[in-house]
Amino acid sequence: MLPSPARVRAYCLAAALASGSLLASILGPLQAQSPPVRSEPPAIFPLEKIQPGMTGYAQTIFEGDRIERIELEVVGVLPNLLGPKQDIILVRLRGPRVEHTGVAGGMSGSPVYLEGKLAGALSLRFGVFAKEPLAGVTPIENMLKLPVSGADRNRLAGLNEAFRAAGYPIPGEFAQQLGLGEGAFLAPIETPLVFSGFHPAVLSRFASEFAAFGWVAVPGGTAAARADDALLQPGDMASLVLMQGDLSVQASCTVSAIFGDRLLLCGHPVLGYGELVAPMARGRVVTTLASAMSSTKIVNAGGVIGSITDDRLTGVIGRLGPPPRLIPMELESVTPAGRQQYRFELVEHAKLTPLLVGLATLNGLLGNPLYGEGQTFRLTGEIAVDGHTPVNLENMFAPTDLPLPDALFIVNSVQTIFTRIFTNSYEAARINSIRLRVEAVPERRWAVIDSAWSEKSEVSPGEEIRVKVLLKPYRGAPFIREIPITIPPQAPKGQLRILVSDSETLNRMSRFFSLGPQSRLGGLEQLIALLNRERRNHRLYVTLLQPNPTLLLEDKELPNAPLSQIRILDQRRTPGSSLLLRESVAGEWSAQLNQVITGQYVIPVTVK
């Protein structure tokens, strides 16, 4: 298919702008903001006219920027393969290129033409070790039914479950015709997920989560932005950008069709989330890696040229123009021998952001040349939430003897916090920025609570007593830490309990309180307050408990609540908005230690 005269003129202008002249440096920013050249809508070949034996071709890139033709023959139409009225065209690809590589990851979206008209896009392939390049084609008619979403206006509404289909069995008559055994199936062509700046151990740790999305993690990077990045043709590559900067992650597939500033991509979902807001960049193919198991394209992401707006069953929609906003993140990794700092941006999404933050955090540690196992980590930082109090991060994590990277404990903690923020049932959280600092201490700083005692077993109201705690550190001499506490002046006569504990013991109640199908909190601000109040691993806690009921109302604790007050609040509260506990906290004290504390011990005392 020859380009139109308008496109030829546009490419000539782009080549001149990319030549490095003074004129290019002046016009480059203007070129990036100017509207792209609009192509003529392609002629459509209707699905109902497709017959076995018809020949045509597909367009894709194997290397560089050169779009190549792949000859093909129609084997037949598989009705309702993906679901009701979701047919697939089965084709056999021909030619030395595909006989060498087979159907490669990144080919998804490659436009398929019959009689010179657009019939669909490559989207499916047979399982690994296929002996011939057979592929499934999503009809263009189904791709054109994709909605024009209001993703920018409703960022987190209507998310679909991730697309995790293992395969689509093909009818027996087709299997026999192709010489395939029973149980033959088609699966979505893998989408190359290109990582730049990531340690191999990090990618292998998250490999199972990538595979669930149909992603293949491949090495790659970013290419310098060029003036012609937005001048796409069917068969070119485009990338969905998840992260960019010192660390980058992008998923790439092929452009199927262009309608003005609207692009149809992939022929199948990348994530299957429905409405999606993410930057779209030009994909630059380095080469196609041939493999008997599964070939794939190696793709670099070029300049950002627009945004991805929809990710659905029959394809992905992109729009040329300004990109959407990303979350800026700063990650600092500190060891006794030096520090490393990374700055990057990542997509804002309830399901993706926690995964990406965890991925980047683990990489910031394992990717540090000075990293080593057996270290204790101090985490500090801040999550700036638009219109709300910042979430303050502060904790310490000690290594263990489990066969896991010690840094995973930090990753799990950070991911949990982001998941709780994004999945809150009150409002869509908008993250303004993320700042994390992880400092490594080259030893295992960990101690267990062995025992505890009070200097008195009988106390008076208002009296100060000292609680002594015997702590046993890892491979160190036991030591005693003393914490003074004061018995409340209004404490009634009878027995009290002094709970000496780690942070997790006290946090369990708060986590139960803030999670669940009917959250008892009143809004996102209260959830943030609860997160900021959570106890820290490197503190030793002493809590005085008395046998009086405590009412947990939204984010507030009301100890020693009179029964009359409880009855009044019980009549006014909504279902699930409060919780009644059998004990009250009469006081809480803590001491910061330079190690992670674990365990608990109870001391009974009697008020005279």
8 A C-beta contact, residue 531 and residue 424:
no
Please state, in angstroms and rounded to a whole number, the distance separating the CA atoms of residues 134 and 341: 47
Question: What's the helix, strand, coil split of the chain in %, to 5?
Answer: 20, 40, 40
**Residue 157, helix vs strand vs coil:** coil
Residue 574 pLDDT exceeds 80:
no
- pLDDT of 170: 67
Q: How many CB atoms lie within 10 A of CB 605?
A: 17
CATH code of the domain in which 269 resides = 2.40.10.10
The one-character DSSP state at 47 is G
The one-character DSSP state at 44 is B
Whether residue 11 lies inside any domain: the answer is no
- pLDDT of 111: 95
Whether residue 235 lies inside any domain: the answer is yes
Domain check: are 118 and 135 in the same one?
yes
Give the end of a domain, one of 441, 474, 490. Answer: 441
Higher per-residue pLDDT: 584 or 595 = 595
Higher per-residue pLDDT: 587 or 152 = 587
Domain check: are 509 and 419 in the same one?
no
49, with CB counted inside 10 A (0-12, 13-18, 19+), is exposed
Domain check: are 249 and 203 in the same one?
yes
Report CA 423 to chain centroid distance, whole Å: 13
Whether residue 424 lies inside any domain: the answer is yes
8 A C-beta contact, residue 362 and residue 408:
yes
- pLDDT of 34: 38
The one-character DSSP state at 48 is G
8 A C-beta contact, residue 188 and residue 213:
no
8 A C-beta contact, residue 246 and residue 330:
no
Helices (H) and strands (E) in the chain, counts: 12, 33
Whether residue 25 lies inside any domain: the answer is no
- pLDDT of 559: 57
pLDDT tens, 320-360? 999 999 999 999 988 877 788 899 999 998 888 888 998 88
Question: 């999503």: which residue's tokens?
Answer: 138
Higher per-residue pLDDT: 479 or 190 = 479
Number of domains forming the structure of the chain: 3
Percentage of residues in the chain with pLDDT exceeding 70?
76
Please state, in angstroms and rounded to a whole number, the distance separating the CA atoms of residues 252 and 229: 14
Q: Residue 307 — pLDDT band, cuts 50, 70, 90?
A: very high
- pLDDT of 207: 75
Residue 388: phi, psi to the nearest 5? Answer: -140, 170
Domain check: are 486 and 437 in the same one?
no
Q: Residue 44 — pLDDT band, cuts 50, 70, 90?
A: very high
- pLDDT of 563: 52
Domain check: are 464 and 535 in the same one?
yes
Report CA 360 to chain centroid distance, whole Å: 10
- pLDDT of 18: 35
pLDDT tens, 496-555? 999 999 999 988 765 554 444 335 677 899 889 989 989 999 999 999 988 876 555 554
Give the end of a domain, one of 291, 323, 355. Answer: 323
- pLDDT of 598: 95
CA atoms within 13 A on the CB side of 20: 1
CATH code of the domain in which 414 resides = 3.10.20
Q: What is the pTM of this model?
A: 0.77
- pLDDT of 392: 96
8 A C-beta contact, residue 390 and residue 383:
yes
8 A C-beta contact, residue 152 and residue 277:
yes
Give the end of a domain, one of 386, 416, 441. Answer: 441
Report CA 231 to chain centroid distance, whole Å: 30
Whether residue 473 lies inside any domain: the answer is yes
Whether residue 23 lies inside any domain: the answer is no
Q: Which domain holds residue 436?
A: 327-441
- pLDDT of 7: 42
Asked which of 289-293, 310-314, 392-396, 463-467 is least confident by mean pLDDT, the reply is 289-293
Whether residue 2 lies inside any domain: the answer is no
